[in-house]
Amino acid sequence: MKNSKKTLEFKFERTIPAPPGEVFDAWLNPKIPGNPWNMAEKLLLNPKVDGFFYWLIKGNSHYGRFTEMERPSRIQHTWMSRSTLGEESTVTVTFKKQGEDTLMTLVHSGLPDTDGGRGHEKGWNYFLDMFPQQFGDASRRESKGEL
């Protein structure tokens, strides 16, 4: 049955000063700051195709299943949390060699477009924190599209 609910997709890009293999491995290493598995209150992680993860942070549970694992270029997994309202969203991360660096692209798609998913007050703090970078740093590129 076709899902007719309105969903959102977010795309983020960063240039990481390391080769793709190193960046790929770091993305799956819970000890490395910034990847989704870091700072977990509880983590179960089995990063292989059809492997599952459970990630608890600030009392919020997140679940998913790895669907693609192609070292060093691509990782894809499903992502379910309170904010996805029981729907499976998809996170796709690609790593592309760019000289000595890696162009890392993360696409989070299939997110329900609900008020509950939007930022409000927390978003305001975020916006203020990001303010100088948002307007000044050309290395940050992101786009948002409604599907």
Contact residues for other proteins (CB under 8 A)? 8, 10, 12, 14-18, 23, 26-27, 32-36, 38, 83, 104, 106, 108, 111, 117-120, 122-124, 126-128, 130-133, 135-136, 142, 144
Nearer of residues 2 and 58 to other proteins, judged by Cβ: 58
Closest CB 73 distance from other proteins, rounded Å: 17
Residue tagged 């916006």 (tokens): 127
Q: 69 pairs with which residues across the strands?
A: 75
CA dihedral 107→109→113→117, nearest 10 degrees, is -60
Nearer of residues 2 and 122 to other proteins, judged by Cβ: 122
Closest CB 8 distance from other proteins, rounded Å: 6
Give me 66's structure tokens: 């790895």
Phi-psi region of 100 (alpha: psi -120 to 50; beta: other; left: phi over 0): alpha
